[in-house]
């Protein structure tokens, strides 16, 4: 890692540096936490992957209309408000327009969410003990977000383009992707990769890190603590997920705006320069934080549903795996006892 950081100033580009850094961290994590070698280890990995995939699909389908409206507000450069934008979207394609691109979103979300939750568990297991627990949670969240973004970025681009530019064309995911590659080249699928990798690092560091920290603090409360009883009447996963999502969106929204605009049009290679230009030309509230209120309105339920669905799926899969293990253990015991019974 230090060799990589020292060689960056000697001509290494931003995308190459970020991807190399991500790969070096993943390699170090894999070296520290050995790959799954037993059935139990593989079962835990599968549970993380399947639970993350289900959580992403459920969450994105539920909040798809809010996300369509949010994306159109972010990438537009005029003064339309949320209600006028909603009417325009409805006029372009009716009620179905609010779920336009949702197939691409779900296809993108399933692998991205699976990679994100699994890699978060891997990174956290590797970092715990090397750094303080809170730091491990924040770093693991950031690296998990970058891992998922690097793997699924072409689908992220197609989804954003379909939600903002392709609604009037009425084309499907594969057809739209083919047209995009034919007209703009394969490089169009990776447009905005640099600001995307930079922006998801702090966002998922706060979202996953804050959620994990709050869950750890909640688990450490005494059984008779008033705060535990209060949170017990609600859903800790939903409450912590909502708060973590709102905090992450509030702190990193300008990065999100810059990376979304980079996907649908020309933009500066340096996201910080893009933010300065937008703030100068459009202002802070109406430029850098355009659509922030609606984004927060979408992120809060989305983050809550994501973590609730993940925790519920993981618990259900864990119970199912434990049931299978008990059945296999009982079957093995019966097979061992059968020869003794026959001999007797």
CA pair distance 5, 10, nearest whole angstrom: 10
CA pair distance 18, 259, nearest whole angstrom: 15
Please state, in angstroms and as integers, the Cα–Cα distance from residue 292 to each residue in 141, 196, 255, 284, 285, following that order: 22, 18, 12, 11, 9
Residue 244 near residue 210, CB atoms below 8 Å: yes
Residue 141 near residue 205, CB atoms below 8 Å: yes
Write out pLDDT tens, residues 75-87: 666 666 778 888 8
Residue 25 near residue 280, CB atoms below 8 Å: no
pTM of the model: 0.73
Write out pLDDT tens, residues 95-131: 777 777 677 678 778 888 999 999 999 999 889 888 9
DSSP state of 13: -
- H or E element in which residue 174 lies: helix 173-184
Lowest mean pLDDT across 73-87, 157-171, 184-198, 257-271: 157-171
Kindly tell me the burial class for residue 38, based on how many C-beta atoms sit within 10 Å of its own C-beta (0-12, 13-18, 19 or more). Answer: exposed
Residue 299 near residue 246, CB atoms below 8 Å: yes
CA pair distance 180, 120, nearest whole angstrom: 32
Tokens coding 64: 């798809």
Question: What is the mean predicted confidence (pLDDT) over 66-78?
Answer: 73
Write out pLDDT tens, residues 147-163: 888 888 887 787 777 76
Give the dihedral sign, CA 168/256/146/13: positive
């Amino acid at each position: 890692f230090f060799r990589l950081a020292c060689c960056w100033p000697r001509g290494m580009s931003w995308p190459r540096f970020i991807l190399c850094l991500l790969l070096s961290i993943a390699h170090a994590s894999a070296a520290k936490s050995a790959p799954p070698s037993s059935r139990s280890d593989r079962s835990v990995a599968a549970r993380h992957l399947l639970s993350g995939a289900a959580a992403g699909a459920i969450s994105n389908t539920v909040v798809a209309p809010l996300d369509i409206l949010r994306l159109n507000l972010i990438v537009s450069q005029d003064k339309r408000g949320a209600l006028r934008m909603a009417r325009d979207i409805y006029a372009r394609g009716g009620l179905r327009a609010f779920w336009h691109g949702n197939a691409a979103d779900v296809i993108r979300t399933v692998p991205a969410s699976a990679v994100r939750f699994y890699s978060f568990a891997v990174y956290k297991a590797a970092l715990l003990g090397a750094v303080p627990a809170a730091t491990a949670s924040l770093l693991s969240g950031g690296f998990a977000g970058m891992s998922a973004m690097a793997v699924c970025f072409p689908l992220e681009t197609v989804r954003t383009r379909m939600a903002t530019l392709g609604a009037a064309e009425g084309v499907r995911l594969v057809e739209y992707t083919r047209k995009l590659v034919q007209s703009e080249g394969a490089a169009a699928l990776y447009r905005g990769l640099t600001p995307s990798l930079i922006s998801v690092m702090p966002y998922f560091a706060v979202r996953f890190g804050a959620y994990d920290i709050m869950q750890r603090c909640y688990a450490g409360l005494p059984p008779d603590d008033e705060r535990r009883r209060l949170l017990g009447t609600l859903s800790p996963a939903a409450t912590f997920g909502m708060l973590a999502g709102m905090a992450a969106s509030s702190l990193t929204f300008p990065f999100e705006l810059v990376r979304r605009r980079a996907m649908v049009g020309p933009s500066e290679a340096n996201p910080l320069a893009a933010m300065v230009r937008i703030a100068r030309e459009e202002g802070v509230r109406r430029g850098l934080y355009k659509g922030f209120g609606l984004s927060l309105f979408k992120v809060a339920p989305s983050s809550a549903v994501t973590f609730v669905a993940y925790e519920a799926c993981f618990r259900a899969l864990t119970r199912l795996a434990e049931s299978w293990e008990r059945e296999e253990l009982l079957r093995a015991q019966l097979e061992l006892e059968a020869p003794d019974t026959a001999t007797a």
